[in-house]
Structure 1
Amino acid sequence: MAIIYQALQYLHILVGAAALVLFWVPMAATKGSSTHKRLGTLYANAMYIVSVSGVVMCIMVLLAPMTFKPQLAELSGEQLIMTIARLRVFETFLLALSLLVFVSIQHGLLVLKAKQNRELLKTPWHLVSVMSLTLSGFVVLYFGLQQSHTLYMIFGVLCSVSGVSTFHYIFKASIKEREWVIEHLSALVGSGIAVYTAFFAVGGRHLLSELLPGQWQVLPWVLPGVIGGVMISRYKKTVNKQFKVQ
């Protein structure tokens, strides 16, 4: 099992690094062009690999932390119990981010396929995925409030709001003509926010701890969400103008 975990970790890191770069190419390409479609599909496939491997690894650690985190064997007693508790909270946070990536990609692609026909979005698998994201967001928010942890509070809200917003789009009485274009782009940008946040929270954490003191370490974790929000706002204006969303 440890070998499987390590293989998933290598796959997650390698494909995730490629996705960090690839994210910007379809975003910069002309919407609807062959480049946008081809590289957008490549990005989506990469993000599926990143999100699914992330979900599986998080669940493995949550269920058996001693098996997949051998450094815990050096601890004992109360220190071990407290470390495992903190680890499980952090893995729950990473699980929520992985679900945010997965649901964002899945929803974005389904919206593109469904267009005005939202019945295609009401499959049991998609609805369960969105519910899982929503619930994970509430759990992370609870941990954030309990521990006064800014990062967990911010992304607990982000994940839960993203899930609720997705449900709202699926079930609201009607949508505007071509509103699906905005929903598609917003979902894909949302996946980028999650993967960049995960990178800064895990891969870049040690580097950032040396460059940014104290609470300032939260800044690069929050920046992807801020930048992503600005991008979504900008794309909404562009899409409204280009596609004449009514």
Structure 2
Amino acid sequence: MKFFAHRGALRDGPENTLMTIDMALAAGADAIEIDVIAHQGRLLVHHDLSLERTTNGEGLLAAHSIRELRQLDAGLGQRIPFLEEVLLLVGHRATINIELKSKGAAGLLAVLLQQKAYQPLKSGLLVSSFDHVELLRFQQSCPDVALGLLLYGTVLSLSAIIGPLKLSSLHLSDEFIDYGLIAEAKQQGLEVYIYTINQVSQLKTLQEIGVDGVFTDCSALWQDWREINCLPMA
């Protein structure tokens, strides 16, 4: 069972910040999940299009300059990070799942990964999105980076939804766990990850039906699971 620290394990600290991501790594996370928004030619690690929930700012993120955004407090004195800062912090210590949250994010990410400093990290990346178009654009530019498709709701035809995407994983909501869909995805060679799981009691059943990993808000989940199953820390 692979454990993704959702937004850096947001129950442990301010979400999508370098501090919380570093804490998740220290706690033994297999993977770090972050969100990126394209803004003024940069990729900011932030979930919402507005600022109030996670920072001391107000209004839409898009209404502010990069300089203004970087001066905001994202919790406990943390700043909104640039994606480059997260890539360099995590390095090869864990998989980095980058969720594309806005139009234009795919193109900026593809350009960034062409830079010499970040090319070695491509093998440890998983790029995901609910936006099929952004995923396809990224695939066309970076066919050597793993892709994950986020889904929410009932799926009538997996092949129709996947279309031309060459996926490595399917990311499903815990509100719509479909045993048949999971089996079909596994038959097609896809990893299946479930979001967002915060109870150890859910893990055994998920493992039994073939789920490969989960996104969680708290590091205690994977630590408790490994202790129960006498598994070493990652």
Same fold (TM over 0.5): no
Decide which structure has greater helix share. Answer: 1
Using CA pairs below 8 Å that are at least 6 residues apart, which structure has the higher relative contact order? 2
Decide which structure has greater strand share. Answer: 2
